[in-house]
Structure 1
Amino acid sequence: MVEVLTAAQMRALEAAAIARGAVTGLELMERAGQAVVAAILEYWPQYGEAGPDGGHSCTILCGPGNNGGDGFVVARLLRAQGWQVAVFLYGAAGKLPPDARLNYDRWLKTGAVLPLAVAVAVAVGEAAGPPGQTGQLGQLGRSGKLGQAGQADPAAQLGTPDLIIDALFGTGLSRPLNTPLRQVFAVVQALRQATDSKVVAVDIASGLCADSGRVLGAAVASTGVPNSGAQERAASDGAAPEADAPENLAPVQGAPGRRGAASDVPPAALSADLTVSFHCAKCGHYLAAGPAHCGRLVVADIGLAQAAAGKTGGQGGQASSDGQAGGQTLRLVVPPARQLLEKQAGAHKYLHGHALVLTGGAGKTGAARLAARGALRIGAGLVTLGVPPAAQMEVAQQITSIMLQRVADVPGLEQLLKDARITALCLGPGLGLEARHGDLVAAVLRARRAALLDADALTLLARDADLFALLHPRVVLTPHAGEFARLFPDIAERLQQTSAKGPAFSKPDATRLAAKRAGCVVLFKGADTVIAAPDGRCFLHASVGERAAPWLATAGAGDVLSGLVTGLLARGFEPLRAAELAAWLHVECARVFGPGVIAEDLAEQLPRVLAALV
């Protein structure tokens, strides 16, 4: 079991450990800084060696909270290793929390701290330079002289920093960032794109909501991923209030936008090459725009493991009344054990279940055939395609190990369902949208068998409140974003709204609410697939980083997923477990095949995937 935490859960965990005397806040801050330095040297081993001029350089952007305190620790540790370090503070030193202020004072014994307004001044001063010149924030990181109080002209410094450390907000951000900060972000992004400078985020990239992965203040596309450009401009021009600017960072006119971008609106969030988080990953690392902004994620142990037991909520916890997580812990889907999916030795096929998949009419049976193949490959003992008369010949020519049964109408289906050996059904892929198709869905739901509803079945549910009311706990719904919006328009609207404050409404929040309303398991598809049960249990399968499978964006891939869930239901897995396993196996099949995978290939990878389990 791998948990991912909300910002509130992480704060509660730290507070509990400190209250028990297990650790002090200052110790946690020191360990966090050490973890960041260790991750940098592991990810970029060349930084452990002497640079071309005898040392490496780093610019550290520190914020007004404990994340900024982590940054001061990193600055001190890197300086002790011979790095040239420049530190900038957003906010007033006198308002820093006690532990952060203590590390600020420790750093002052080594170097100085400049107000972040200096970075804005350099950005604006160089904005009109010739194309290809990328000094900007780079001029702020090459010399230890930069930190001296008498250094009035940062732009006079030469070179670019090897690293830029984002220690501005971490998980503590609750409002959209103001324009001056976004101007700094524009400089950092331009520098990152045009030079070898790398960006490291402490805990999470600034601008992101740690609970939802959404960019605070940015509009959201239909895919659920925050937009940039024109929609971001619209959001920043009045839809979302700006966070108050500290006295040392006033708005500056004429700051540059992102290098090469069509819009001159500066980014609302930083993008990092490496993000170092602590104890557990946060929900926002995997959701929405989080993966795109956080780069490679490293989760470091800072000694909180013992304090974690029983302190972050568990399966018995409940989502709050508005659907947001509260004490309920989100869990990552992990590889299943081989034993879980093995078949019982000596058992006959009916002990492994019989799945029935209903097809559409002539010329529309391909989706159901893909689902049936998936159900058979995942281990259902038998799989039957229920076919309308006009499509019988078409289907008969395409199948061998899958059986065929004529299903002309509701009475025919009800007759077939008298066979108690049929343990799960799949409806929707290519089914059709006529009233008679809705009647078939109703007949299945009234039978109270385990069932997977996808595609056309979801559209039929969205059209008919009486049909929706027939849903029960043995059902799994597998909507993509468009289908989710049709089924749960009010919930989807909350996901599309600009996030004017944090924690923002998240995909897990939405999926939990949907599952509770439907009274069944909901698998909300996407690169950040979220699976929730009516009781609030929730899992996340993030197809990002090493598990990215962009080739799954192909016709029919979702039909195979439907078949995997159906086959697991037929084998007797409870709905939440079936959906969780199917999500992992589906992506793993695409990863095993690799680029060029099409829907027909997916189920055929299951023997290799299952054999590789341990």
Structure 2
Amino acid sequence: MSNELLSSAEMGEADRLTISDGPADGIGLMRQAGEAVAAEVLKRYPAATHVHVLCGPGNNGGDGYVVARLLASSGLGITIWASGTPGPRSDAALAAAECPIKPRPLSGFDAEAGSIVVDALFGAGLSKPLSGDAARAVDIATDLHLPVVAVDLPSGVSGDSGKVLGKAFFADTTVTFARKKPGHLLLPGRERCGGIVLADIGIGDGIIARLQPRTFENKPALWLDDFPVPAIDAHKYKRGHVGVFSGGPSATGAARLSALAAARSGAGAVTVLSPDSAIQANAVHLTSIMLRKTDDIADIKAFVGERRPSAFVLGPGFGVGERTRTFALTLLAGQTRDASTRIDGLVLDADAITSFREAPDALFEAVRQPNAPALVMTPHEGEFARLFPDIAGDTVASKLDKARAAAKRANAVIVYKGADTVIAAADGRAAINSNGAPWLATAGSGDVLSGITAGLLAQDMPAFEAACAAVWIHAEAGARFGPGLIAEDLPLALVPVLRELVAGRR
């Protein structure tokens, strides 16, 4: 599956296994990597006359020497600026020996407007802040607005976290090999990479499979096999029933957005569970969505017993406090149902997450009880920090690390929202979303996401896959709609995206 993401260590192991299995050797992989980068430079900058190739002392620099040799043979003017010397008998030393161009020290780097820079300094292997001559090179390229083609990753960007270590190049294009790394998708690294080109250099799918990666780019290939498509004999309750809890009279809109999204995503029936005080406010706006008075645990128990819902959304517009906690813990503990009634999933968002900031362990313990429904939580940055303050405050960990740690602690699927949303499961699997759009930064957008997730859970989609699918579908609909998007547009904007997924599933 080409959507696996490899850490820097895993990529090194993939190289090692490929070389160990043969017939490829290290210099052979390096030559293929350099060929891929050189081809990209020639394709993207056919009018270029001069290219500055910045080479580090390691394998990234070795790729750079190959690039310089090939571009020079194509007639381009080439200057190599080297930071250090490759180790004796290393693959990078072999590549440097094959290159007829004598390198100059990086300390003297200078460039002219209109030239191209190939950044082959450090790539994903950098573990300390970029400084000295390398940092100066970044400043020069930035000040002159020079197009930069990065080899593997822009130097200064962590391959594992996407963090900028000191300074980093802003690449127009990044050419990476075999598989992307988390740093290509996590912010701020994603902004530094420009367009990402994934090149095949001979590291086969079998090698990647042996690594058993647990991190993925969130694409349909990850979850499409589990995406629900109604059978020919389906009726509404076979397609699942979602209950969405509504807030009071002045806070009903969020629940209706969630409910409509759950219905659009395929749930056969959706009911807004409204306090009696908000029944009229909700009734005015609902047509295909059902409505039921729900003020206390007895009302929830009656609803579950009579209508057998399979998933719930709790939190959007609901209010923060003990009532919210009680509703959530009751659903998780199974006190609302008998042995013949199963709840597949509970989605907690917004106020429901904040309600547990003073008692997170009560929530986490409830999820671990036998027969508790799958829990999906969809916090944004602030909500995440309220529920997991120590994890959020870790200045070393990446967003990916934080989402994984939170999922393990909570025994839940965590959708850590943002422009680089991370979806993590308690078993260690994680996916980074890459199709997000700024148009989704609008009030009510998260409520729609919660509804899509519950709608898919209600149709028996496993929790991690349902959360990944919901995030991707939500982002894709927002990206296609574009400027002018408001949350009310999103449920209908889901339709063409869902249609294409169903067509691809059949």
- Tell me the TM-score normalized by structure 2: 0.92
Identify the residue that residue 456 of structure 1 maps to in structure 2: 351
Name which of 347, 366, 390 aligns with 1:490. 390
Structure 1 window deviating more from structure 2 (333-342 vs 385-394): it is 333-342
- The alpha carbon displacement at 1:331 in A equals 4.3
Deviations 1:110-129 (A, max 9, x none): 3211111112xxxxxxxxxx
C-alpha change, 1:480 and 1:306, in structure 2 (3 Å) is closer
Quick one: distance in 2 between partners of 1:97 and 1:407?
Answer: 74
Name the aligned partner's letter for residue 515 of structure 1: A
Q: 1:204·1:294 contact (CA, 8 Å) conserved in 2?
A: yes
Matched, 1:360 2:247: yes
C-alpha change, 1:339 and 1:26, in structure 2 (3 Å) is closer
C-alpha change, 1:339 and 1:428, in structure 2 (3 Å) is closer
Identify the residue that residue 114 of structure 1 maps to in structure 2: 104
- The alpha carbon displacement at 1:311 in A equals 2.5
Instruction: Map 1:469-548; keep pairs closer than 5 Å.
Output: 469-472=365-368, 474-494=374-394, 497=395, 499=396, 505-543=397-435, 548=436
Deviations 1:228-259 (A, max 9, x none): xxxxxxxxxxxxxxxxxxxxxxxxxxxxxxxx
3-state SS of paired residue (1:205): coil
Q: 1:64·1:96 contact (CA, 8 Å) conserved in 2?
A: no
Structure 1 window deviating more from structure 2 (573-582 vs 443-452): it is 443-452
3-state SS of paired residue (2:119): strand
Name which of 194, 208, 214 aligns with 2:157. 208
Q: 1:333·1:540 contact (CA, 8 Å) conserved in 2?
A: no
Matched, 1:99 2:100: no
Quick one: distance in 2 between partners of 1:477 and 1:419?
Answer: 27
Name the aligned partner's letter for residue 454 of structure 1: D
Name which of 127, 130, 134 aligns with 1:177. 130
Identify the residue that residue 233 of structure 2 maps to in structure 1: 346
Identify the residue that residue 64 of structure 1 maps to in structure 2: 57
Identify the residue that residue 13 of structure 2 maps to in structure 1: 12
Structure 1 window deviating more from structure 2 (414-423 vs 571-580): it is 414-423
Q: 2:157·2:165 contact (CA, 8 Å) conserved in 1?
A: yes
3-state SS of paired residue (1:3): coil
Deviations 1:11-52 (A, max 9, x none): 0011011122231100011001100011223334x34xxx6x
Quick one: distance in 2 between partners of 1:306 and 1:578?
Answer: 26
Name which of 588, 599, 604 aligns with 2:487. 599
Quick one: distance in 1 between partners of 2:471 and 2:348?
Answer: 15
Quick one: distance in 1 between partners of 2:346 and 2:24?
Answer: 50
Identify the residue that residue 4 of structure 2 maps to in structure 1: 3
- The alpha carbon displacement at 1:76 in A equals 0.5
Deviations 1:319-363 (A, max 9, x none): xxxxxxxxx343433366599332111211010011000011111
Identify the residue that residue 219 of structure 2 maps to in structure 1: 333
CA RMSD across the alignment:
1.8
C-alpha change, 1:138 and 1:415, in structure 2 (3 Å) is same
Question: What is the aligned residue count?
Answer: 487
Matched, 1:189 2:150: no
Deviations 1:242-297 (A, max 9, x none): xxxxxxxxxxxxxxxxxxxxxxxxxx111100000011111100012111101000
- Tell me the TM-score normalized by structure 1: 0.77
C-alpha change, 1:467 and 1:11, in structure 2 (3 Å) is closer
Structure 1 window deviating more from structure 2 (33-42 vs 559-568): it is 33-42
- The alpha carbon displacement at 1:420 in A equals 6.0
C-alpha change, 1:542 and 1:97, in structure 2 (3 Å) is farther
Quick one: distance in 2 between partners of 1:420 and 1:514?
Answer: 33
Q: 1:32·1:70 contact (CA, 8 Å) conserved in 2?
A: yes
Name the aligned partner's letter for residue 510 of structure 1: K
- The alpha carbon displacement at 1:410 in A equals 2.0
Larger Rg: 1
Matched, 1:26 2:19: no
Q: 1:212·1:507 contact (CA, 8 Å) conserved in 2?
A: yes
C-alpha change, 1:8 and 1:578, in structure 2 (3 Å) is same
Deviations 1:577-597 (A, max 9, x none): 110110111011112212111
Q: 1:367·1:556 contact (CA, 8 Å) conserved in 2?
A: yes
Which sections of structure 2, spanning at least 5 residues, go unmatched? 335-341
- The alpha carbon displacement at 1:607 in A equals 1.9
Quick one: distance in 2 between partners of 1:332 and 1:610?
Answer: 16
Matched, 1:78 2:49: no
Quick one: distance in 2 between partners of 1:348 and 1:331?
Answer: 34
Instruction: Map 1:77-476; keep pairs closer than 5 Å.
Output: 77-93=70-86, 95=87, 98-107=90-99, 110-119=100-109, 137-139=110-112, 160-192=113-145, 197-217=146-166, 268-314=167-213, 328-334=214-220, 337=224, 340-419=227-306, 421-447=308-334, 449=343, 450-464=345-359, 465-472=361-368, 474-476=374-376
C-alpha change, 1:111 and 1:468, in structure 2 (3 Å) is closer
Quick one: distance in 2 between partners of 1:283 and 1:467?
Answer: 30
Quick one: distance in 1 between partners of 2:456 and 2:430?
Answer: 19
Deviations 1:149-187 (A, max 9, x none): xxxxxxxxxxx3531010000121111122432122111
Name the aligned partner's letter for residue 326 of structure 2: D
Quick one: distance in 2 between partners of 1:11 and 1:439?
Answer: 49
Identify the residue that residue 233 of structure 1 maps to in structure 2: none
Q: 1:4·1:332 contact (CA, 8 Å) conserved in 2?
A: no
Structure 1 window deviating more from structure 2 (569-578 vs 414-423): it is 414-423
Q: 1:205·1:270 contact (CA, 8 Å) conserved in 2?
A: yes
3-state SS of paired residue (2:367): coil
Identify the residue that residue 42 of structure 2 maps to in structure 1: 41
Q: Percent identity?
A: 43
Quick one: distance in 1 between partners of 2:304 and 2:70?
Answer: 69
Name which of 472, 475, 497 aligns with 1:609. 497
Name the aligned partner's letter for residue 71 of structure 2: L
- The alpha carbon displacement at 1:378 in A equals 0.6
Q: 1:65·1:97 contact (CA, 8 Å) conserved in 2?
A: no
Q: 1:13·1:307 contact (CA, 8 Å) conserved in 2?
A: no
Name the aligned partner's letter for residue 105 of structure 1: A
- The alpha carbon displacement at 1:5 in A equals 0.7
Name the aligned partner's letter for residue 483 of structure 2: P
Q: 1:461·1:468 contact (CA, 8 Å) conserved in 2?
A: no
Quick one: distance in 2 between partners of 1:598 and 1:68?
Answer: 47
Identify the residue that residue 588 of structure 1 maps to in structure 2: 476
Quick one: distance in 1 between partners of 2:251 and 2:464?
Answer: 29
Quick one: distance in 2 between partners of 1:583 and 1:598?
Answer: 17
Q: 1:373·1:603 contact (CA, 8 Å) conserved in 2?
A: yes
- The alpha carbon displacement at 1:206 in A equals 0.4
C-alpha change, 1:36 and 1:333, in structure 2 (3 Å) is same
